[in-house]
Chains A and B, each alone.
Chain A
Amino acid sequence: QLQLQESGPGLVKPSETLSLTCTVSGGSIGSSSYYWGWIRQPPGKGLEWIGNIYYGGSTYYNPSLKSRVIISVDTSKNQLSLTLTSVTAADTAVYFCARGMYFYDSSLLKRDAFDIWGQGTMVTVSS
């Protein structure tokens, strides 16, 4: 059973860089059948997509965060990473990693969704 576990510092100072890791167990992060994403949720608020990384290394980011975000994969460690620079209090949130899986709909058209999620890790930005 594939599992995802986020880890990283729970407290980051304003203007500094937030770095999180998502460790994948029970499967390979390097499979071409999946992609990987980061999603965050500020306290008491909704979900915000941060970005995805696809097989081959292509990355796509939320336009509102694009200038500050880097997502990468280390296949040797089976880990996904998130780097967010110049953080402010607005970046305080629970950060989730998730696996994106491809499905076929009733017309056999290819679709996708996040089918497995990590439990999330809370990051607070404060001095």
Chain B
Amino acid sequence: DIQMTQSPSSLSASVGDRVTITCRASQNIRNYLNWYQQRPGKAPKLLIYAASTLQSGVPSRFSGSGSGTDFALTISSLQPEDFATYYCQQGYNTPRSFSFGQGTKLEIK
């Protein structure tokens, strides 16, 4: 099974800050990597697919990068609505097996 490890597990930042969350896969997954945002009590929302492509309607302050085993999600200037938990998800062995990272909780400093 492919394991996904996110860091940090939690992060405190201020409105306007630039933040980066990383995700590491236990083996090469090329760019089969998606990012989701989950606000408390809500369903996850797709932000980025294929490691770096912004889903329609997602603000351009979100960006994704990486390939192989190391990936990053960057928010260029934090807005109040961005304080949430973020998950990476691999689908390399699609359609056989998916897995999520453990999540990164982004909190207001």
Residues of A close to B87: CB separation below 8 A? 46-47
Is B95 in contact with A52, judged by CB distance below 8 angstroms? Answer: yes
Chain A CB within 8 A of B102 CB = yes
Main secondary structure of the interface of A (DSSP, over half): strand
Given known A-B contacts A111-B91, A112-B91, A113-B34, A49 and B53 have beta carbons under 8 A apart: no
Q: Which of A12-20, A25-33, A57-65, A85-93 interfaces with chain B?
A: A57-65
A-contacting residues, B42-63, CB 8 Å: 42-46, 49-53, 55
Q: Is A48 an interface position by the 8 A CB rule? A: yes
Size class of the A contact interface (CB-based, 8 Å) = 20 to 34
Query: Is A47 within 8 A of B43, CB to CB?
Result: no
Which of chain A's residues have a CB closer than 8 A to the CB of B91? Answer: 111-113
| A contact set with B: CB distance below 8 Å | 35, 37, 39, 46-49, 52, 54, 58, 60, 62-63, 96, 98, 103, 105-106, 109, 111-115, 117-120
CB distance from B23 to the nearest CB of A (A): 13
- Name 26 A/B residue pairs within 8 A (Cβ), A-sorted: A35-B95, A37-B98, A39-B100, A46-B101, A47-B38, A47-B87, A47-B103, A49-B97, A49-B99, A58-B95, A60-B96, A62-B97, A63-B1, A96-B44, A103-B50, A103-B53, A105-B49, A105-B52, A106-B50, A106-B52, A111-B32, A111-B49, A114-B36, A117-B43, A117-B44, A119-B42
Q: Which residues of A contact B34 (CB under 8 A)?
A: 113-114
The answer to whether A115 and B43 have CB atoms under 8 Å apart is no
- A52 CA to B96 CA, complexed, in Å: 8
In the bound assembly, the distance between CA atoms of A114 and B101 in angstroms comes to 15
